[in-house]
Structure 1
Amino acid sequence: MLEFFVARLPDQVYRFWTAIFIHAGIIHLLITIIFQYTIMRPLEKLAGCIRVMIIYIVSGFVGSLASALFLRDSVQVGPGGGQFAILACYLSELFLGWRSLKRPWAGFFKIIICLLLLFTVGLLPLVDNYSQCFGFLTGFMLNMTVFPDVSYKKNVRRLVVITAALATTIALFIVLITLFYTLPVECPSCELLNCSFGSSCRNYTYNSV
């Protein structure tokens, strides 16, 4: 990464984007590959790669922004926000089509297991649970916007859902970006949600790299 133009001034917005494509190691990369092939690929076949890409990238960007806000001095990488967003899409569609499924609980528990596994990975150094949580929220909202025709048949109801979901997503982004640049969050205890390995996590901070 390039140096800041002004010391300690976060003027490199592209880092929110590039962090999505960087991994903490070969195991982290393998997890992403397995996720994309087994979970993300079927959704692309169903909804199309453009829609899935929008949700994956935008949610990953918002997740990186949340990570930078709550863990300002920590180094965090990976597409966790996008991955949680994809699972949020599955969960949203599962709830909307619950009555039409023969075994909805089976699908529900599969999604929960995937969420728990990825959340556990987020407790490791360089991987961030704040990114994943905010990515999940963004993905859930974007699913209502990008896939509105899957479950909503009435035009008025569809318009209300799209408007509310899109407004919530935009509001979330504005709040995060405003807080990041105007009111830095000082929260030492926030690291507990992100990394439970104490000293090992402190080796990956701004001051140590």
Structure 2
Amino acid sequence: METIRQDYFFWRMVHYLVFQKKYRLLEQGFREVWLEDENMKPRRIVRLVRVDIDFSSWVKRDVLQSVKQFELVRKQLRLGKLEGENIYISVYPPVDSWDDINKPYFESRKKRTIVSSSIIDSAKANETELPPAPILQSIEEMETAIFHLKEQIRVEGKRREEKEKSFFFYGKPFATVMLLIVISIMFYFLERHGSSTSVLTLIEFGAKYNPLIEEGEWWRLISAMFLHIGFLHLFMNSLALFYLGSAVERMFGTGRFLFIYFIAGVSGSLASFAFNEQVAAGASGAIFGCFGALLYFGIVERKLFFRTMGKSVVTILIINLVFGFAVPMVDNGAHIGGLIGGFLASFVVQLPKLKHSIKQLVFLGVTFLYVVSLYWFGGLNEHKASNPILEVQIGQEYLQKEEYELAYPHLQRAVNLDADLPEATFLLAYAEAMFENYERARELLLQTISLRSDFHEAHYNLALVYYELGEIEEARAAVSRALELYHDDIYLELEKKLK
């Protein structure tokens, strides 16, 4: 009779911890139950064991074995530290001394896992904080009560597990797949009509280009999200979108995901417009918006977030941001802008099963102000309006296509922005020569050589300009200098011609 009473007490204690203390059920066995107290810092795991103990030696062996099990649980839950507790429910305490069982055991010198143990026998059962239970007289009544307690615990554990799973499987990633298809199709068209690394092709297909956005082509803030610069850029962003986009769309559903994605993408484009003068393209801002959505989930469901994906998400995000600051070519403004945009947009739409609240309207207003502020600052920030290197790059591509009239304003703008940039004065001189403005071309080439004396192409072009102006001696001197710097058959032909 005393044995069945302790069985009943054991399952009452488990029931109390699960329903009253809100412990999470990790594992339920016949005579052993593992529970987790998520509110404790460091995290606390309780192992309850129903066993009738004769000698303390058995308990010592079991405690030492349990320490390894607690350490395994710590690693599975990705916890920095863990406090474990063994609670043995026994009819009688061990017949020999067991005082040393109460001392804490450590998994290693780092003391990441600390395990304490205690024994509750029939005499101590009445001293626990369990609420009073109905008085049961017969063994049959106790067995029936135990069965109901075990079933309630099992159902509650299953209910919590299904509830947690429902956060990650609300929707299906239809939109993510469609976005990947559209991005791939746009990359194909870029390569077919020029090159995805060509600035002119990117601008033609809708990349973010500040001067044209300032002239009213605001749609570039959206179209830039579907363009990528080179196959590696496409591959890395597609891979990130496949994993992050799928996760966010499953959690939020397709409609909410698209709202988050486009708000983040536009925010990223606006941040790039406000802080970066380069031609930009890519889905990075929208992808970082998915990071923002996952961080929102971490705020709403903090325990579940850090128990599942939290540490990985935060680590990957930090690595990407640090990489963005370390590598000049990465548009980190777009990344951070998209991250904030996605975070705010997630508060607007919320997780599907949350009740609507006034906070959504508040965050809708905050999101609107955020987007408008980026656009407003972009209009005021004159430092991002033009970049001489970018203008040189555009002008050079036009020159390669022999579209001199289109190249000229970009090269002139580059010289105006940075008169000490030898590439700018060199290419502008070439354009002036094509228009037969040889006096201006000579002036620009002399300026180029003064900036970089070893610029052999500039010496060769100067020789050509001198030849057109009829200054043969000067032309001979210029081509000789070009040959001193670099041996080229074309230079030799001009030298022979001048002789």
Do the structures match in fold with TM over 0.5? yes
TM-score (norm. length: structure 1): 0.75
- Which residue matches 1:184? 381
CA contact (8 A) 1:70 1:185 kept: no
What number of residue pairs does the alignment pair up?
185
| Counterpart Cα distance in 2 of 1:140 and 1:67 | 18
Structure 2 residue 238 is the aligned partner of structure 1 residue 53:
no
CA contact (8 A) 2:252 2:351 kept: no
Q: Which amino acid aligns with 2:365?
A: A
Per-residue deviation at 1:116? 3.0
| Counterpart Cα distance in 2 of 1:42 and 1:106 | 12
Deviations 1:133-168 (A, max 9, x none): 011111111101112554x44x5xx21x10221111
- Which residue matches 1:81? 285
Q: 1:202 to 1:107 in 2, by over 3 A?
A: farther
- Larger-Rg structure: 2
The percent of aligned pairs where both chains have the same amino acid is: 21
| Gapped regions of structure 1 (runs ≥ 5) | 188-200
| Counterpart Cα distance in 1 of 2:212 and 2:309 | 49
Q: 1:47 to 1:127 in 2, by over 3 A?
A: same
Q: 1:111 to 1:7 in 2, by over 3 A?
A: closer
Superposition RMSD in Å? 2.9
CA contact (8 A) 1:87 1:115 kept: yes
Instruction: Please show how residues 24-173 of structure 1 align to structure 2 within 5 Å.
Output: 24-71=229-276, 73-99=277-303, 101=304, 104=306, 107-119=309-321, 120=323, 124=327, 127-147=330-350, 149-150=352-353, 152-153=354-355, 158-159=357-358, 161-173=359-371
- Which residue matches 1:208? 393
| Counterpart Cα distance in 2 of 1:148 and 1:111 | 18
CA contact (8 A) 1:179 1:185 kept: no
CA contact (8 A) 2:264 2:285 kept: yes
| Counterpart Cα distance in 2 of 1:139 and 1:178 | 20
Larger fraction in helix: 1
Larger fraction in strand: 2
Q: Secondary structure at the match of 1:78?
A: coil
Q: 1:96 to 1:202 in 2, by over 3 A?
A: farther
CA contact (8 A) 2:251 2:351 kept: no
Instruction: Please show how residues 189-200 of structure 1 align to structure 2 within 5 Å.
Output: none
| Gapped regions of structure 2 (runs ≥ 5) | 1-202, 395-499
Higher RCO (CA 8 Å, separation ≥ 6 residues): 1
- Which residue matches 2:459? none
| Counterpart Cα distance in 1 of 2:268 and 2:213 | 21
| Counterpart Cα distance in 2 of 1:70 and 1:61 | 14
- Which residue matches 1:194? none
| Counterpart Cα distance in 2 of 1:90 and 1:15 | 27
TM-score (norm. length: structure 2): 0.34
CA contact (8 A) 2:252 2:352 kept: no
Q: 1:8 to 1:169 in 2, by over 3 A?
A: closer
